[in-house]
Chains A and B, each alone.
Chain A
């Protein structure tokens, strides 16, 4: 047996702050304008080293946009982005309230991360595929999904397009090229590479965007994705949303490297780290990645740096594992507030307009909610028929399932 060394304790990282601690984060090191915008077509992975270790920003702390990454969006586009983000936030609040009354079994908000799905989807073309995790439902607003149908899914009523089969927030929206969400975390990340390889094979002008969480990036799928993407160079945009937490587990347990973006460099995939609460920076970096994809240069790896401001889900109580006000200390602030601040500062928005917007959207969501519950909800029914257990398991129902289906009908409460 080898002799014992002095240090006998396993190294187990802890979260920087736990309940009772005062959370404080260092301010972001980079200012807008610090990092160049390389030519997306000619850019090598090595040229993105500073971007992977630094932070791409456009909005400064006063809401002023500057630097080579400024996408110079028209005020209408900015207001459109703001509207989707506000819609996401109020929609989440409404669903969470419904969850508390039993109308949904479960819910997950995107609070504090609304810019991610909205800005990144707006930066794409409508033919591009969206392969989300459960924290990017906002992409559906950009793609025009009707809120009533989103609520129908969440409350598992007769009109749920996935027929009550999946838990809430596991949306499917083929018309918006938004691919079905699956619970096992991370699986979409490597699958997205396959989606993009099919587009590449068929020589179509489309790309696939996907997201994985900081925690989930410890799954094999994250590494499969980067490796296949680096070998085959398909048009895929691989985002890792570092919102600091995976349920109760801090990001420093997901990786020993404090910048997730840097991991992409080792796969020879150009990699960027971007302020995920900065709508403009997110939009711009995604546009850049899309240009690379369209030119046949392949994948881009993006770490979206943000903070999960809410609980992991309706089943979670973060006060057990992090300071309650930790998100207020986050140097990235709040994505909605920051876009409002920017629009106000360029004279294209006002507090009154913001208030009106919120009231209008709240009204829309209430109306959608009232309509959706007329088709039933989890607490009161009616649900999709129990027949939906047996349909679409296979293209056609094999005899043994038919027998079981007939048996089920004898017992079903339908």
Chain B
């Protein structure tokens, strides 16, 4: 009998951190305002009090420094988990992640490695303007040596975070901040909580969602919609609105992505729409589209469609004209069905 609790994503992340701190003395957690205060999104609320300030602590306001000490701790036997307060602020840490953390296993001939996790709230929909809204996942998927995760629900946020922490490879985990306290279906005026959502039924104990496995969020016959992060829920709404029978694949891990699930689905449906809120050019949707084409060309019955954020900075007041809406996604689905 598994004890289940209804959790939102904030609580699910908190539970994952709590369990890993409990299970492994080499796990430590830190970030800006993440210690005493428990994080600006409250994801580490109560953990410093429970596990001690030497295991859960505030850092100086320095993302480059955070990533650098994460590297150092990782190669010297700890399993650190760092929080970057907003994904938009991961860029001062970019050099340490891309040139150092990602490459140390390879550059040292396997003598050193970095079993570290960097987790960060990402994505728009909270009126955050240019610098509290971005989804920079493709800026990491383009780097060899790190795994890239983008969660979407309480269940996968906990299970994927535990997998990331247990992984001996570095993992960057993006969490959809718009969905922290409830799923987002593309209507800013509809603000549901996670209550009664099947993916909010979360085991209290340790479990994993393996890295590299996608989740079939909806099952259908005529089209495959591939998405991640908050856009999974927006796509769900769009599929319902379109009236088309679709597979909805929540990619969960972008690197390495789940080849089996995707190929199998496209071979069944023959059609593919990819949805992400990051800009289109060089977005991870481009990688998906190319890979689907390479692997499933003879099964495709229509061109692959991408519905994405625009190739512009993320706006403040007009963010609903920026993020892919259910209407835009449904239109893409219907368009390729009619091909």
Give the complex CA separation of A164 and B316 in angstroms. 6
Which residues of B sit under 8 angstroms from A219, Cβ to Cβ?
61-64, 92
Q: Mark B31-68, 1 if CB is under 8 A from A, else 0.
A: 01101110010000000000001100111111111000
Of A20-28, A242-250, A336-344, the one contacting chain B is A242-250
Which residues of B sit under 8 angstroms from A390, Cβ to Cβ?
310, 312
Which residues of A sit under 8 angstroms from B129, Cβ to Cβ?
165-167, 170, 183
**Chain A, 168-216, CB within 8 A of any chain B CB:** 170, 182-186, 215-216
Contact B60 A218 (CB under 8 A): yes
**Would you call the interface of chain B mostly helix, strand, loop, or mixed?**
loop
Which residues of B sit under 8 angstroms from A12, Cβ to Cβ?
35, 53-54, 57-58
A216's closest neighbor in chain B, by CB? B61
Of B193-201, B260-268, B285-293, B320-328, the one contacting chain A is B320-328
The one of B53, B62, B63, B310 that contacts A389, using a Cβ cutoff of 8 Å: B310
Give the complex CA separation of A215 and B61 in angstroms. 6
Chain A to chain B contacts (Cβ below 8 Å), 28 pairs: A10-B54, A12-B57, A14-B36, A18-B36, A156-B317, A165-B316, A167-B128, A167-B130, A167-B316, A183-B132, A184-B88, A186-B61, A218-B61, A218-B65, A219-B62, A220-B92, A247-B33, A249-B32, A249-B58, A253-B58, A254-B60, A254-B61, A255-B60, A384-B317, A384-B318, A389-B322, A404-B280, A413-B321
Which residues of B sit under 8 angstroms from A408, Cβ to Cβ?
310, 321
From residue B92, how far is it (CB to closest CB) to chain A in Å? 6
From residue A108, how far is it (CB to closest CB) to chain B in Å? 13
Residues of B that sit less than 8 Å from A by CB: 32-33, 35-37, 40, 53-54, 57-65, 88-89, 91-92, 127-132, 280-281, 310-313, 315-318, 320-322, 325, 327-328
5 pairs of A and B residues whose beta carbons are closest in the complex: A164-B317, A218-B60, A183-B131, A248-B37, A386-B321
Q: Does A74 contact B (CB under 8 A)?
A: no
11 other contacts beyond A15-B36, A156-B317, A390-B312, with CB at 8 A cut-off? Answer: A12-B35, A14-B36, A105-B127, A183-B132, A219-B63, A220-B64, A247-B37, A388-B315, A400-B311, A408-B321, A412-B321
The one of B36, B131, B321 that contacts A182, using a Cβ cutoff of 8 Å: B131
From residue A30, how far is it (CB to closest CB) to chain B in Å? 27
Which residues of A sit under 8 angstroms from B280, Cβ to Cβ?
404
If the complex has contacts A184-B88, A390-B310, are A413 and B59 also in contact, measured as CB distance less than 8 A? no
Classify chain A: how many residues form its interface, as a range. 35 or more
From residue A152, how far is it (CB to closest CB) to chain B in Å? 11
From residue B111, how far is it (CB to closest CB) to chain A in Å? 16
Give the complex CA separation of A219 and B129 in angstroms. 22
Give the complex CA separation of A26 and B71 in angstroms. 39
Q: Does A401 contact B (CB under 8 A)?
A: yes
Q: Mark A378-414, 1 if CB is under 8 A from B, else 0.
A: 1000011110111001000000110011001001111
Which residues of A sit under 8 angstroms from B62, Cβ to Cβ?
218-220
